[in-house]
A and B are shown apart, each in its own frame.
Chain A
Amino acid sequence: MPGFSFTHLEFLAWAALWTVGLSVIAFVGGGLLGFVVALARVSASRSLRIAAIVYIQLVQGTPLLILLFLIYFGVAIAGFDAVPAIIAAGAGLTVYSSGFLAEIWRGCIQSVPKTQWEAAECLALTRWQRMTRVVLPQALRLATAPTVGFLVQIVKNTSLASVVGFIELSQAGKLINNSIFEPFTIFIVVAVFYFALCFPLSTWSRSLERKLNVSRR
């Protein structure tokens, strides 16, 4: 029986690119959606705030695996053709990320001191101007480190996309194992790939945290 070869490594590297791609989709999609939900979460309108809370709680209270199944099979049941795996996986991860990013960013927005809102309000700025010109620039500074930290979670969680048939790093590892039955070797290599993706991110997050803590708020 042939062992683990360069071809397998190539296959894994190719699959790792899909992991990166899926992570980017999840981060960009989740970021956009999460930003809107975070704004709704701190909005002046009570019904918007409640809607945002319900959304965040639902997303955070549902396992990503189930979210992926719901989207993958839900769309088919709703009468559409089976969705391509990348769409289902991308949508599931987007929803998942948006629920967490919204809550991280809500915290950052609310940790900008209330006196900053007040000062901006007393200068006759509109609510939107207060938010975009005074509060968000300060919240951004606070948000950078935890946001990059959450990126690591996204990268690792893309492994669940294999359940809807999406071939990313983990799924590629399983496929190779099905043909050569060397699970330990294969999954060590897979783990190394994940580590190589995540380690720079978490190092970056930590250094951002240090940098932003010592410089001005």
Chain B
Amino acid sequence: MTFALEMRGITKRFPGVLANDHIDFALETGEIHCLLGENGAGKSTLMNILYGLYRPDEGHIFLDGREVHISSPTDAIRLGIGMVHQHFMLIPVMTVAENIMLGTEIVKNGFVLDQDTAAQRIREISHQYGLEVDPSAYIKDLPVGLQQRVEIVKALYRQASILILDEPTAVLIPQEADDLFTIMRELAKQGKSIIFITHKLGEVFAVADRITVLRNGRVVGTTRPSDATQSSLAAMMVGREVILTVDRRPAQPGDIVLEVRDLKVLDDRGSMAVNGASFEVRAGEVLGIAGVQGNGQTELVEALTGLRPTIAGRVSIDGVDVTNASPRRISEQGVAHIPEDRHEHGMVGSYPVADNLVLNTYYRQPFARGAILDHRAIEEHAWRLVHEFDIRTPSVYMPASNLSGGNQQKMIVAREFSRPIKLLIAAQPTRGLDVGSIEFIHKRLVQARDQGVAVLLVSAELDEIMSLADRIAVMYKGQIIATLDATQAERATLGLLMAGVTSHGA
């Protein structure tokens, strides 16, 4: 039989890395084919080859049984391949119609844009596939879910028959993700073939017809959801058994460690990002803050760690007022911080691993005597942590930027856990990490909790919150609109709360 798409023996080498190693991949017409793999498994490379962004070193690509050479995205689009990137390629100040016709403008009378015809076609497509969008709306006014929809319409407008969706659910709340799955099924039913890239196992079962798992640049296997389980897929991805559920005992909350009262914080543009948030975290419990990104979580964490001034309210740790205290004073209160943006805040990329591991303790014994650094002590400390936290690096003098994302995050976690702490603030601690790293970091968080550390976990991944938190606070538009006991919190309820819907009695 002929496939909508067949890739045979695709090999791509980067200096020092074999990103794709003789990959065979076949996509049937009208199927949703899930491409599963950890970060660095070679998914993106393979798709970038298909989309004409990279040239393969070896291998052939066939569309409907015919060999094609794709040397640029223009070729790919011409051949009916559409890609929805993780980061949308939309211009916020233009309308939906303008964005969609960008690059394929319809012109009447020589040079006048024919917006009406375009809008008409957009409506047709919307209607045909159940993708409702208003062609005259401005992108900046649309929620993320709809912006994604615009990207899909754009691909369809360019007559794509094969759609590549690159981690499309990363930015969506559960309800929006469900909507997306419905749309995907509708598209497949009408003959579109979809490649769905993800590393979330749950989604695979929700939507995929077939699954291909990649690991270390190779195809580990292709299977169907009916023949697989979450743990069998995880094992395929990682190459060993993975414990998916976090094993933990019920929390034994102690005294209040972090207390936040009526906190108000401005964002960079001067608008109220945190608007009167109040909550507390006790020793030995994990408080999870759930919420769609951009509802003030970032500013909240920055305010708590001294990186952003507050304009009102009070923050205290162990009864000590630390409102607007310096980051150093807060960290000396026993606060560890795993920052949301590890490249920006968590590490100095050009510094060796060893220096990064003492980034906030360099001035203390035994790393410094007076103002003189003790490099031996720093190096020994580094070796100990590298072993203990299994940070994969050939040398503690390797610049941190040369490490993979997972190892960078382990380095940060190792540093924050290497001193006595009372409170751990972890912001998106597993974002962009592979399954193995996530497992490791989750274990460490629970371990810290069991040792009596108060843990504040901020995450956009609802699954993460639900599996780790003892109590869940939902943040919406700068406020904590509800706090639930984790054992009683249901996914659907949380999803509604994240969208700002508070029903009384919840």
Question: Does B associate with A?
Answer: no
Q: Which residues of B contact A (CB under 8 A)?
A: none
